[in-house]
Amino acid sequence: MSYCTQYDEGCDSGSFTSPVPWIGLYVAASSLGCSLAMAADAFRGFRHQKLWFPCKFFTLNAASLTSLGVAMKLPVDVSTPMPSKTDQLAKFSSTVLMSTIMANFMPSLGAMHDKNILMNVTALGIFVITLIVNVCIQLGTGVIYTLVKEQAIVILFVFVLFVILSFSALAVPTTKKYLELKYSEMQKKVSSEESDEPGKPAAEKLKEDLRKYWVVAETGCPQFAMARSAPCSASGAICFLTAILLAEAELRIYFGHSPPGGTHSDYKWSTYFILVIQTVGVGIGTIAPVFRWFNALRFMSSKRGDKNYKTEFKTENYWIERLVELKERPLALHIGGQKYRKLVHNTKNLFLDLCIKVQILIVVGSKLVLLLPIFITSPFLQCCNSCMGSTKKFNSNDPGTDSNWESRAGVKHGSKLDLSRYVLHLEGEEELPQWVMKNNRDVVNHLIRIGKQQQPKYLIGLLENSTGFKGVTEFDSNQVPSLDSSEPPNCWTLPLVTLTSITIALPNIENETVDRLVCSVSEGLLYSRLVDKNLDARRELRNIRHTADTVWLGVELHRRWLHEDLRKMVLQGNTPKNTLERLAHVAEETVVEFKRNIDGSLKENPLHWPIKVIAANSMYRISQTILLNNKNINEQTNRRLFEQLSTMVADILGACLTSLPHIITMKCYTSTIEETEESVQDAAHLLGETEKVVEIVKQHQLPSLNPNQVVYIDEWRATMIQKNDLLSSPLTNEIASVGSGELHIAIDSEA
């Protein structure tokens, strides 16, 4: 006996359905989340002038599939009667939203790895099949009794979109492989090219290279390749049709002559929220697919006179290459008996042959969807082009036009950078429209302008006080006795942090002056870290870099070096010599204590020393070097020593930042093609930030260093010290004196 039969008088069926409106509100909230994510992608596409609308916020992943499952609650609900107009429209809007979402998912396939594609497409397929079956059940049982034809059409479109998405996913690995190969070739081409103008500044040469790399990265982006494909464009047309069906259904039911609906369902007032939010979501979500469709139409119509349309229906190899490879690859199954193996093999071949035919049908059908509107609108387009041609001809004879002005001004169009040579084409793409090239050029210029607005002003002011790279040799001295037989090497950032800590501890220096130096070093460390991280390919200095970052955090935020309060040292009124001696003594004790308590491999390999020991060793050597080079330090003013150390910091930063052009170029080389666009974007932004910095450091003469020596500050020191020793050696002086004597004899003989 059931609960309600046993307690019939006390059973209130309304209490069981009371939470249903709140469930509907949850469905509306999930639909709103999907709509906002699609709106964010649309806004980002307009903002960055990427009218193919890459997927960043709304992609095919576990989170979006979970939200989608909640948003599709109404069409999969087969048991709840929904008789009113709003209820029926809400079910229909959910189905239309599903087709819109699937069209928006298409480009995101290019950003996935093979394993993720398989899992996400499988999960989406399970949900799509469930949705289709449940809607068909409701159509058969009469739960959906209005908009029956529209529901059937949209459900068919949902199935077609899923088939298009699934078979497009099969071509993604092949497309990526092809693009990666072409990208590697184009990188070598760009790096090997020499500038047409030998005297061109380094910053201008970098800008040219970045424009080239950006075109390569943008046109080689897997998402862009997917977005400009025929199936993705055709999905935009299907999405547009379903949106039109929803708009027509809502107008007809609410404003036309439609049969009156029944009472509200258990969802009650929540269906209004669901209908409104999902309708808005369909409108927003249609923007990106429709723009991709229109862009494809625009491109194909622009070349309609240059190519026979019969060749347009050819299926490119990359669409079926993966399926052909799977067909030719033997199965790894070990099934007993030749008869069964033959049966499995033949079944596999039949299935893959069917898949190949379906793939060809999808590609050809998608191209037909693109070509039909062009055939229909061809007379109108020809008329428009004729009018535009007449206008251009009239304007070309007008002396006030831009083209005539440029010719009078001596502007040579041939001297402009031809970016079309760096476009990555897929098979069947002989060219891309010129607006793509212009957009890429504008994007790079925009990124550089944004970077210029964020230039490191304090760092630039500090570098302008540098007279060269002398500070690289002066911050450490070989005459300072070592605390251990093996010492950790230096990275670029560690001496900067140690020297800045010492300057903070100097007495009688204005707080504003100290704060300005700290801000300058803080800005400089952002770039010196890039140099250390990118050039240290073997990661030998990872622990040294980590030490510098950890110590700098305490210095910048709390004015503390390890456990020493640098501001307290200033207030104690010590002389500069006493301050340096105290810092050296604290550092020496830290290293000695470590050596006393630790044995074994940790002691033998200084690269693995603890952070405080590495920092202490650096403080000891630099403090002792300053004391050694300034024996009469008590007679110096605090200001003079502060300026001396500040100049040393500027010299080290300048030497480090000479590698910035190389770092900017390196950012264009990434391991995966999915990251190339973002890396080139960061490189353009970095160039805008550091263009002035590069100009300043290029004014100083660089020492003769090979690429391996540029990485390490210790190599800089060794090379510069060796050069200084050669210049000051007695043999050099003797040669110089002999040369002057020979000149003197020659003059006398002539006399």
Domain ranges of the chain: 15-173+230-299, 306-381, 458-657, 712-751
DSSP 3-state assignment of 560?
strand
The pLDDT, as a whole number, for residue 602 is 59
**What's the farthest any 2 CA atoms get from each other in the chain?**
139
C-alpha angle 440/443/449, rounded to 5°?
Answer: 145
**Which residue from 66, 41, 68 is spatially nearest to 53, judged by alpha carbons?**
41
Tokens of 21: 């409106």
Contact yes or no for 617/483 (Cβ under 8 A): yes
Sign of the CA dihedral 304, 308, 312, 313? positive
The pLDDT, as a whole number, for residue 387 is 61
Beta bridge partners of 561: 564
CA distance 411 to 399: 15
Alpha helices by DSSP H, listed for 228-311, are 230-255, 270-285, 287-302
Residue 540's CB is within 10 A of a number of other CB atoms, namely 13
Contact yes or no for 96/246 (Cβ under 8 A): yes
CA distance 719 to 729: 15
Phi-psi region for residue 497, left (φ > 0), alpha (ψ -120 to 50) or beta?
Answer: alpha
Helices 338-396, 317-328: inter-axial angle, 10-degree rounding: 170
**Which residue from 512, 480, 517 is spatially nearest to 642, judged by alpha carbons?**
517
Tokens of 143: 């739960």
Torsion of CA 356, 358, 363, 366, to 10 degrees: 180
Contact yes or no for 55/223 (Cβ under 8 A): yes
- Alpha-carbon distance values, 404 to 93, 134, 397 (Å): 55, 66, 8
The ranges of the chain with pLDDT < 50 are 1-3, 7, 391-396, 398-415, 731-751
CA distance 678 to 681: 5
Contact yes or no for 184/251 (Cβ under 8 A): no
CA distance 335 to 166: 29
CA distance 179 to 225: 9
The pLDDT, as a whole number, for residue 7 is 46
CA distance 303 to 432: 10
**CA atoms within 13 A of residue 129's CA, in its CB half-sphere:** 6
Tokens of 643: 């300026």
Residue 23's CB is within 10 A of a number of other CB atoms, namely 16
CA distance 366 to 237: 10
